[in-house]
Each structure stands twice: as structure tokens, then as C-alpha cells.
């Protein structure tokens, strides 16, 4: 079971993160500043990894019939994430790139801390002040718990701690909206040469999303603690008209559903719009689906006709988004990067070390 969990963590360490190596029960990875994700997307990347891990643990507990100590205690395993920003070097050692430098030493020192004893979080993400600043998480960090650790030769290190248990509970209980095939009025799609995490990063940002919705000006309001999510509103500007698109469902790297005011002369006519990301061998298939209209009866009659008339333009817009994203990613060097390839022997050795030390798996 530990092998399965480590394989899961490795699989969830996605671009632009690059795996350096496994160290016992830890997955050590790094990313390069110039092709990294925006702050919220990185937080969501960690949250997605954690919720996937907890889902796997839950299934294992339900299906477990083995009573050995390791299997019997599988439900007590949890994750801790450590995030720091700084300079480092890469030194090739046998089959992996070893991270070296004083900032690397800092994060290794942080593995021994007093978070559990002083704050009480069993599963958490620890951000250093340097990471918070570089990722632009100052506003988001207001919802985290400030903390500090003191080390010899380092002095006080300021930290922010995110409790991961509420993340798991929230994801598990989140409702999912459904689109019945008979209610679909229009669907367009495109395949992109980037993984879902990077496509999502562009999709979430108004300055890039505007290409998808065909508007020269686009912004977002009603963030929650600095984060875009359910209740936030994308605003499309078409001349003097503002078309609100309210987020109803926000599933990072997978799906967004918005409730859009339809640009027709009948007030209060809305439709659900789904943006779906599906991994492919090439990268990601992004689709945009318009559902059945709601509101006044005349508006409900006009919307299907209007959407059929705009089908070519909708496809042109999603094609324009693809071109913009791929061109921008190539310019920034944000195309997928291959990191260390972990062989089965590396996983086996990591599991053996974990069992020997008795540590919880740590991402």
C-alpha cells in the first residue's frame, strides 16, 4: 500500500514541478521561476495532490482485509508539504539531480519543526515568507496560520501554515452540476500542447481568458480571501455592456461552470457554461459547452437560435485561446519539462526506508 501511495504522489507532482528524487518517504521536487504557475494555481496543485491522497487512503481503509501493522495503520498516514523559494544548484548524482545550496538546507531544516505540537495540524502545507512573496500569496496567506521556527545559525524563520484537513472536507462535500445531453445547445473544443495544470493556470486569469470569451477587456470580482472560486464573477466588457459570468463550480485542473448573462435584448436570461479539461496523450482537450437557457420565455426561445448563429465565432475564439496560450507558454519556456525518471527500484527503496524510520509519507 505504501508503494501505491508513493506512486500516487509521484504521479501528482506535475509540470512545472520537476522531481529531483525520493528521500525515504519524501518526494523532493523543484520548479523554475520564469515558467512557474500563478500563486493560486500552485496552492490548488498542492490541494489537489492532498485530496487525491486522502481519497486513496479512504478507499484503502474500506477495502483493506490485511491486519499487518502497516496495513492496519494506513488510515493514520497523512501528508505535509514544504514550500520555499530561493537559489539552488543542480548536481548530477547517479540517476538523479541533487539540489544543493543554502536555501535547500533551509527547507531540510524546516522538516523538523513544532507545527503539530504548537498549532495542532496533522496535515499541512508550510510556506516560507520567501515563497509567499514570490508566489504573490500575501492576500491568500491571511487565511493561513502565521508561525515561526528558530534554528541555530539561521535565527527565526517566518512561516505560514495551511491546514489541509478542511481542504479535503470541502472537496469531498462539494456539489457537482450536471449537463444533460438534451440540454446542450452548443459545444466547441480544442486540443492543446500543454498539461491540464498549465492550461488551467491560463484559463483562470482574466488577461488570458479574454481570448476564449472574445472580449477586449476582462476582469474578475468578488474573490474570496484573494482566491477565485464559487461566487467570483468574471466580467466581459463589450463596448458599454458588461456581461457577468458567475462561477458556480470550481474544480481545479478539471472543470469550471459559470452562470452567464446572455447578450440578448431580453433581460435576466442566463445559461450555464461548462469549461472542461481532459488530459490527452498530446496535452489537454479543452471544451466549452453551453447549456439550456433560463429566464423569460422569449429569452429561452432566442438563445438557442443565437448560439447556433455564433457557433463559428465560438470555435474561432477557442482556437484563438489555444494559439495565445501555446505562443505565450513557448515564449516563457513553460512547455512541459521532463525531470528525473523514477524506476521501480527507487520506489521500493523509498518504501523500505519509510518503514524503517516509521515516518508518515511527506510530499
CATH number of domain containing 288: 3.30.530.20
Residue 67: which pLDDT band, with cuts at 50, 70 and 90? low
Does residue 352 lie within any of the structural domains? yes
Give the helix/strand (H/E) hosting 192.
strand 186-192
Q: Is pLDDT of 145 > 50?
A: yes
pLDDT tens, position by position, 3-28: 788 888 888 888 888 999 888 778 99
Q: Are residues 127 and 193 in the same domain?
A: no
Report percent pLDDT > 90 for the chain: 66
Range of the domain at 294: 179-332
Structure-model confidence comparison of residues 24 and 326, the more confident one: 326
Does 180 sit behind a cis peptide bond, omega within 30 degrees of 0 on the bond before it? no
Q: Are residues 108 and 15 in the same domain?
A: yes
Does residue 338 lie within any of the structural domains? no
Q: Is pLDDT of 362 > 50?
A: no
Q: Are residues 261 and 326 in the same domain?
A: yes
Residue 241: which pLDDT band, with cuts at 50, 70 and 90? confident
Q: Are residues 160 and 193 in the same domain?
A: no
Helical residues (DSSP H) of 119-164, grouped into ranges? 129-135
Q: Are residues 269 and 352 in the same domain?
A: no
Q: How high is the pLDDT of residue 12?
A: 86
Residue 361: which pLDDT band, with cuts at 50, 70 and 90? very low
Long-range CB pairs of 168-172, under 8 A, 24+ apart, other chains included: 168/50, 168/51, 168/54, 168/123, 171/47, 171/51, 172/51, 172/54, 172/55
Q: Is pLDDT of 55 > 50?
A: yes
pLDDT tens, position by position, 258-283: 999 999 999 999 999 999 999 999 89
Q: Mean pLDDT in the chain?
A: 88
Does residue 337 lie within any of the structural domains? no
Backbone angles phi, psi at 196, to 5 degrees: -55, -35
Does residue 363 lie within any of the structural domains? no
Query: Minimum mean pLDDT among 182-191, 275-284, 327-336, 338-347: which range?
Result: 338-347
- Strand pairing of 18-23 and 186-192? unpaired
What is the rounded average pLDDT of the residues 309-332? 95
Q: How high is the pLDDT of residue 340?
A: 46
SS3 call for 189: strand
Q: How high is the pLDDT of residue 69?
A: 66
What's this model's pTM, rounded to 2 decimal places? 0.88
293 forms beta bridges with: 271
Q: Is pLDDT of 324 > 60?
A: yes
Q: Are residues 9 and 61 in the same domain?
A: yes
pLDDT tens, position by position, 84-121: 999 999 898 877 789 999 999 999 999 999 999 999 99
Q: Are residues 103 and 129 in the same domain?
A: yes
How far apart are alpha carbons 56 and 76 in whole angstroms? 13
Residue-by-residue DSSP string for 239-281: TTEEEEEEEEEEETTTEEEEEEEPSSSSTT-EEEEEEEEEE-S
Does residue 50 lie within any of the structural domains? yes
Structural domains counted in the chain: 2
Q: Are residues 40 and 111 in the same domain?
A: yes
Helical residues (DSSP H) of the chain, grouped into ranges? 2-12, 39-63, 69-72, 102-110, 115-118, 129-135, 165-173, 196-204, 206-213, 297-309, 311-332, 344-357
Q: Are residues 137 and 198 in the same domain?
A: no
Q: Is pLDDT of 290 > 70?
A: yes
Closest CA to 94 of 22, 10, 29, 2: 22
Give the helix/strand (H/E) hosting 221.
strand 217-221
Does residue 26 lie within any of the structural domains? yes
What is the rounded average pLDDT of the residues 28-40? 90
CATH number of domain containing 117: 3.30.70
Closest CA to 4 of 45, 46, 63: 63
Q: Are 61 and 74 in contact (CB under 8 A)?
A: yes
How far apart are alpha carbons 12 and 5 in whole angstroms? 11
Does residue 99 lie within any of the structural domains? yes
Q: How high is the pLDDT of residue 334?
A: 58
Does residue 261 lie within any of the structural domains? yes
What is the rounded average pLDDT of the residues 122-143? 97
Q: Are residues 150 and 193 in the same domain?
A: no
Q: Are residues 245 and 319 in the same domain?
A: yes
Q: Is 267 exposed, middle or buried (0-12, 13-18, 19+ CB in 10 A)?
A: exposed
Neighbouring C-alpha atoms within 13 Å toward the C-beta of 64 = 19
DSSP symbol at 76: G
Q: Are residues 158 and 38 in the same domain?
A: yes
SS3 call for 149: strand
Name the grid cell of 263: 447578450
Structure-model confidence comparison of residues 239 and 321, the more confident one: 321
pLDDT tens, position by position, 198-237: 999 999 999 999 999 999 999 999 999 999 999 999 999 9
Amino acid at each position: 500500500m505504501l508503494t501505491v501511495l508513493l506512486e500516487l504522489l509521484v504521479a501528482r507532482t506535475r509540470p512545472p514541478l520537476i522531481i529531483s528524487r525520493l528521500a525515504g518517504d519524501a518526494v523532493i521536487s523543484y520548479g523554475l521561476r520564469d515558467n512557474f504557475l500563478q500563486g493560486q494555481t500552485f496552492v490548488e496543485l498542492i490541494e489537489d495532490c492532498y485530496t487525491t491522497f486522502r481519497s486513496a487512503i479512504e478507499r484503502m481503509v474500506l477495502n483493506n482485509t490485511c491486519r499487518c501493522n502497516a496495513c492496519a495503520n494506513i488510515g493514520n498516514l497523512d501528508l505535509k508539504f514544504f514550500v520555499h523559494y530561493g537559489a539552488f544548484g543542480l548536481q548530477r548524482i547517479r540517476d538523479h539531480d541533487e539540489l544543493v545550496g543554502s536555501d535547500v538546507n533551509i527547507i531540510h531544516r524546516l522538516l523538523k519543526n513544532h507545527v503539530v505540537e504548537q498549532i495542532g495540524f496533522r496535515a499541512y502545507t508550510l510556506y516560507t515568507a520567501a515563497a509567499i512573496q514570490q508566489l504573490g500569496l500575501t492576500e491568500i496567506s491571511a487565511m493561513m496560520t502565521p508561525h515561526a521556527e528558530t534554528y541555530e545559525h539561521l535565527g527565526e524563520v517566518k512561516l505560514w501554515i495551511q491546514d489541509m484537513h478542511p481542504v479535503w472536507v470541502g472537496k469531498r462535500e462539494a456539489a457537482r452540476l450536471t449537463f444533460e445531453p438534451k440540454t446542450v445547445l452548443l459545444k466547441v473544443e480544442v486540443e492543446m500542447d500543454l498539461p491540464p495544470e498549465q492550461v488551467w493556470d491560463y484559463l483562470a486569469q482574466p488577461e488570458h481568458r479574454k481570448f476564449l470569451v472574445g472580449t477586449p477587456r476582462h476582469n474578475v470580482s468578488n474573490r474570496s480571501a484573494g482566491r477565485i472560486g464559487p461566487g467570483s464573477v468574471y466580467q466581459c466588457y463589450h463596448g458599454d455592456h458588461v456581461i457577468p459570468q458567475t462561477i458556480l463550480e470550481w474544480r481545479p485542473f478539471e472543470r469550471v461552470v459559470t452562470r452567464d448573462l446572455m447578450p440578448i435584448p431580453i433581460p435576466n436570461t442566463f445559461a450555464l457554461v461548462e469549461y472542461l479539461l481532459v488530459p490527452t496523450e498530446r496535452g489537454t482537450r479543452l471544451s466549452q459547452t453551453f447549456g439550456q437557457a433560463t429566464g423569460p420565455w422569449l429569452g429561452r426561445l432566442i438563445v438557442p437560435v443565437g448560439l447556433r448563429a455564433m457557433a463559428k465565432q465560438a470555435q474561432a475564439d477557442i482556437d484563438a485561446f489555444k494559439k495565445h496560450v501555446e505562443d505565450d507558454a513557448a515564449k516563457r519556456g513553460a512547455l512541459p519539462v521532463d525531470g528525473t525518471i523514477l524506476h521501480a527500484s527507487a520506489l521500493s527503496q523509498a518504501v523500505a526506508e519509510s518503514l524503517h524510520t516509521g515516518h508518515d509519507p511527506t510530499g
